[in-house]
C-alpha cells in the first residue's frame, strides 16, 4: 500500500496549498457526514420510542427509517440548487453555505421537543429538519470533492479527491463515538430524556469551519479559469441553468454516474444503520457491541479508501471500481451468516470486509465523477449523479431491508437485494469510459 501511495505522490509535484485544501475538505465532509450519520444511529436506537411511541417496536422502526429516507429524497434537490450556484458563483461559496445549513438543521434536531411534549408536531418538525439536512448534504459533497480534485495535479486526482471521501468513515467514527460516550455517561432513562441530544448539539462546530473556509481557502484553479474566460467573453455567463445544460449534453452520463453510486450508498447504509437495529432487535446483541463493530469497520476502511483511490491513479478508475462491485456482490451472501454468529469478531469481520470492498468503489469515485463532466457544469453533473444514486441506493436500503426481514423472517432476500444493487453498479461503470488519463480538469 505504501509503495502505491508513494509512487502516486511522486508522479507530479503538488501545487502549493493542496494539502490545506485536502485537509479542509476532509474536515468539512467529516463534520457534515457526522451530522448526517448521527441521525441514522438515532433512527435505529432512540427515535422510535421518542417520536413514534404509539407504534409497536417494528412499526416504530419502519417509521423512523422512513424519516431517515426523507434526507435522501432532499439530496438531489440540494444537488440541483447548490450545483447551480456552485457552477455559477464558485465551489467555495456553495460549500460554505451547505456547511452552515447543516449545522443549523442538526442543532435544531438536538433542541427538538419529543412526541411526549408536543404530540404529532414532533415527528413533523423532525421530518422538516431531516429534509434540510438532506439539502445540505446534497450540496456539500460536490463542493468538497471539486475543491480537492480541481486543485490536484493530473496524476493525483484520485489520491487527493479521496480526502473528501474520507469524511464518510471519519463521520461514522465521530458519530458512533459520540453515541457511545453519551450512552456510557448516562443510564437508559437519562439517555432517552436528554443524553441523545448531545451528539446533535456538537454540530455547532460546522459554523466555525464554514467561517474558516470562507476566509482562508481560495477558489479552485479550474473555476478561476472558467471565471476568467467568462469575463473576457462578451456574452458573459450563459443564461441557461447549469443543471439543464448538463441534462441536455450528458443525460446518459448523469444516469450512469447515479447507477455507479447505487451499491456504494445502499450497502454502506446497510452496513452502518440497518445492521445496528438488526443486531439489537433480532440477534439480541448489546447496542454498544453493535456500535463498536461499526466503529472498528470505519477505522479499517479509511486507509483502504485512500489506497484504492491512489491505485486508480495508476491503473484506472474502472478496474478498481468494477472489482469492488463484483467482490461486494459476492460478500452480500456471506455478510448475514457471519453476523448471525452473534460473536463480536464475526459481526466486526462481516462489516469490515464489506467496507473494504466498498472502499474500492468509493475511493476512486470523487475523481471519476469530476472527470466525467466539463468545468461549467461539473458541480451540477457530479452532484446530480451522486444524489440520484443516493435515492435509489441508501435512501430506502434500511427500510427495504427491514421490510424484507419482517415479511420473510429471513436475511437471504436482503442478500439478494444487496447483490442486485452491486449488479446495477457493475453494469453502470462498465458502460462508462475510462477517465484517469483525461487531461487536466479545465
- Cα–Cα distances (Å) from 132 to 1, 113, 209, 240, 385, in that order, read 39, 18, 19, 26, 20
Distance CA 12, CA 283 (A): 51
In Å, the largest CA–CA distance within the chain is 68
Domain extent at residue 173: 17-431
**DSSP 8-state class, residue 10:** T
Distance CA 167, CA 275 (A): 21
Domain count, the chain: 1
3-class secondary-structure state, position 112: coil
222 close to 154: Cβ distance less than 8 angstroms: no
pLDDT in tens, the chain (442 residues): 544 444 334 444 555 578 888 888 888 888 878 887 788 778 777 888 888 777 666 666 667 767 767 887 888 899 889 998 889 888 888 888 888 888 889 899 999 998 888 888 888 888 899 899 889 988 888 888 998 998 888 889 999 999 999 988 998 888 878 887 888 888 888 888 888 898 888 888 777 777 777 777 777 788 888 878 877 775 555 667 888 899 998 999 999 999 999 999 999 989 988 998 899 989 999 988 998 898 899 999 999 999 999 999 999 999 999 999 999 999 999 999 999 999 999 999 999 999 999 999 999 999 999 999 988 899 999 999 998 998 888 778 888 998 999 999 999 999 999 999 999 999 999 999 898 887 556 5
Within 10 Å of residue 316's Cβ, how many Cβ atoms?
Answer: 18
Q: Three cell numbers at 161?
A: 479527491
31 close to 371: Cβ distance less than 8 angstroms: no
* 6 part of a folded domain: no
What is the dihedral sign for C-alpha 184, 187, 190, 193?
positive
**DSSP 8-state class, residue 434:** P
Within 10 Å of residue 193's Cβ, how many Cβ atoms?
Answer: 13
* 295 part of a folded domain: yes
**DSSP 8-state class, residue 55:** S
* 34 part of a folded domain: yes
pTM: 0.84
CATH number at residue 77: 1.20.1250.20
* 113 part of a folded domain: yes
* 349 part of a folded domain: yes
72 close to 390: Cβ distance less than 8 angstroms: yes
Residue closest to 441 by CA, chosen among 189, 149, 11, 73:
149
* 53 part of a folded domain: yes
Name the helix (H) or strand (E) containing 46.
Answer: none
* 170 part of a folded domain: yes
* 141 part of a folded domain: yes
Residue 10 confidence (pLDDT)? 40
Residue 15 confidence (pLDDT)? 58
Residue 137 confidence (pLDDT)? 85
Distance CA 103, CA 185 (A): 24
HSE-up of 442 (CA within 13 Å, CB side)?
4
Distance CA 235, CA 217 (A): 29
| Residue found by looking up cell 422510535 in the block | 48
Amino acid at each position: 500500500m505504501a509503495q502505491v501511495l508513494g509512487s502516486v505522490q511522486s508522479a507530479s509535484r503538488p501545487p502549493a496549498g493542496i494539502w490545506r485544501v485536502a485537509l479542509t475538505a476532509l474536515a468539512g465532509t467529516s463534520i457534515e457526514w457526522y451530522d448526517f450519520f448521527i441521525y441514522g444511529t438515532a433512527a435505529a436506537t432512540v427515535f422510535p420510542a421518542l417520536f413514534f411511541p404509539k407504534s409497536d417496536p417494528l412499526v416504530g422502526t419502519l417509521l423512523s427509517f422512513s424519516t431517515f429516507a426523507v434526507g435522501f429524497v432532499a439530496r438531489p434537490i440540494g444537488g440541483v440548487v447548490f450545483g447551480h450556484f456552485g457552477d455559477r458563483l464558485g465551489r467555495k461559496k456553495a460549500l460554505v453555505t451547505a456547511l452552515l445549513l447543516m449545522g443549523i438543521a442538526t442543532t435544531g434536531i438536538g433542541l427538538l421537543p419529543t412526541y411526549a411534549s408536543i404530540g404529532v408536531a414532533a415527528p413533523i418538525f423532525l421530518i422538516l429538519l431531516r429534509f434540510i439536512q438532506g439539502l445540505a448534504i446534497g450540496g456539500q459533497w460536490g463542493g468538497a470533492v471539486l475543491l480537492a480534485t480541481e486543485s490536484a495535479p493530473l496524476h493525483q486526482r484520485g489520491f487527493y479527491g479521496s480526502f473528501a471521501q474520507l469524511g464518510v468513515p471519519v463521520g461514522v467514527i465521530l458519530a458512533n463515538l459520540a453515541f457511545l460516550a453519551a450512552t456510557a455517561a448516562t443510564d437508559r432513562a437519562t439517555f432517552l430524556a436528554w443524553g441523545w441530544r448531545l451528539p446533535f448539539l456538537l454540530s455547532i462546530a460546522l459554523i466555525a469551519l464554514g467561517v474558516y473556509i470562507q476566509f482562508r481557502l481560495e477558489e479552485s484553479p479550474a473555476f478561476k479559469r472558467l471565471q476568467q474566460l467568462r469575463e473576457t467573453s462578451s456574452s458573459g455567463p450563459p443564461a441557461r441553468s447549469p443543471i439543464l445544460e448538463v441534462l441536455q449534453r450528458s443525460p446518459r452520463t448523469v444516469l450512469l454516474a447515479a447507477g455507479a453510486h447505487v451499491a456504494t450508498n445502499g450497502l454502506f447504509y446497510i452496513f452502518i444503520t440497518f445492521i445496528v437495529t438488526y443486531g439489537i432487535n433480532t440477534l439480541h446483541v448489546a447496542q454498544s457491541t453493535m456500535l463498536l463493530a461499526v466503529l472498528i469497520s470505519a477505522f479499517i476502511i479509511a486507509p483502504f479508501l485512500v489506497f484504492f483511490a491512489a491505485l486508480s491513479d495508476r491503473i484506472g478508475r474502472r478496474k478498481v471500481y468494477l472489482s469492488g462491485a463484483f467482490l461486494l456482490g459476492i460478500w452480500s451472501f456471506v455478510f448475514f451468516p457471519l453476523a448471525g454468529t452473534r460473536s463480536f469478531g464475526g459481526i466486526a469481520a462481516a462489516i469490515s470486509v464489506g467496507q473494504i470492498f466498498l472502499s474500492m468503489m468509493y475511493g476512486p469515485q470523487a475523481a471519476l465523477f469530476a472527470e466525467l463532466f466539463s468545468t461549467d457544469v461539473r458541480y451540477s453533473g457530479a452532484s446530480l449523479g451522486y444524489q440520484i444514486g443516493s435515492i435509489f441506493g441508501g435512501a430506502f436500503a434500511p427500510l427495504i431491508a427491514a421490510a424484507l426481514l419482517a415479511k420473510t423472517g429471513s436475511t437471504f432476500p436482503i442478500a439478494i437485494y444487496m447483490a442486485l444493487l452491486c449488479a446495477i453498479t457493475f453494469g453502470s461503470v462498465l458502460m462508462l469510459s475510462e477517465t484517469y488519463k483525461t487531461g487536466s480538469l479545465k
